[in-house]
Amino acid sequence: MSENRPAAERPAAEADEVSLLLDDQMCFALYAAQRALTNRYRPLLDEFDLTYPQYLVMLVLWEHGALPIKSLGKLLQLDYGTLTPLLKRLQAHGLIRRERQASDERSVQISLTEQGAELRKRARVIPATIGQAAGLTATEAGNVKALLERLTANVTASQ
């Protein structure tokens, strides 16, 4: 029964049929890769007492400096309700400050504390460790990233 084989292993005429096999689903491959990467990040980030989403917040702040919550959320593609608890935990760890703007009290500016800025130096080992674990060349990693960005843009545009 050829329908139990992945599409790539079936004759061309059959491969044109829509497959409902788990191994044929791009979404599952992305899901499995995301879980594997996040699990690989976990022990590295535990050394910094950060979760993966908190690490992403820190990456944005290390790159851009102080930002309004709205801008931070846009860059991370996170809504305010998801971002606020992350920021409160980072503030409790002494890594960021949340300050209402005098010019617009509805706007909250997020900035790094000295401790948050210093963490950047120690965290520089993380991307290289993940890169080694991925086992991809720099070119392959760049190609995967470009394809994922294109996939995201295409799916977002079709909504």
Select from 77, 104, 105, 72 the least CA-distant residue to 90: 72
- For the chain, domains (ranges, CATH) are 22-129 (1.10.10.10)
- DSSP letters, 43-62, are HHHHTTT--HHHHHHHHHHH
Whole-number Å distance between alpha carbons of 3 and 19 = 8
Q: What is the pTM of this model?
A: 0.83
Q: 75 pLDDT exceeds 90?
A: yes
Q: Which residue has the tokens 């460790």?
A: 129
Name residue 29's amino acid.
A
What pLDDT, on the 0 to 100 scale, is given for residue 17?
77
| Confidence grade of residue 106 (pLDDT, cut at 50, 70, 90) | confident
Per-residue pLDDT, averaged over 73-98, amounts to 96
Evaluate whether 2 touches 14 at the Cβ level (below 8 Å): yes
Under DSSP, is residue 79 helix (H, G, I), strand (E, B) or coil?
A: coil
Per-residue pLDDT, averaged over 128-149, amounts to 94
Average pLDDT of the chain?
A: 91
Evaluate whether 111 touches 61 at the Cβ level (below 8 Å): yes
DSSP H or E segment with residue 25: none
Least confident of 13-17, 44-48, 71-75, 85-89: 13-17
Under DSSP, is residue 26 helix (H, G, I), strand (E, B) or coil?
A: helix
Name residue 47's amino acid.
E
Q: 35 pLDDT exceeds 70?
A: yes
| Confidence grade of residue 18 (pLDDT, cut at 50, 70, 90) | confident
DSSP H or E segment with residue 99: strand 96-100
Q: What's the token pair of residue 27?
A: 């979404």
Query: Cα-Cα-Cα-Cα dihedral of 37, 41, 151, 85, to 10°?
Result: 130
| Residue bearing the bigger pLDDT, 6 or 103 | 103
| Confidence grade of residue 57 (pLDDT, cut at 50, 70, 90) | very high
Q: How far is the CA of 158 from the CAs of 8, 74, 78, 153, in angstroms?
A: 27, 19, 19, 9
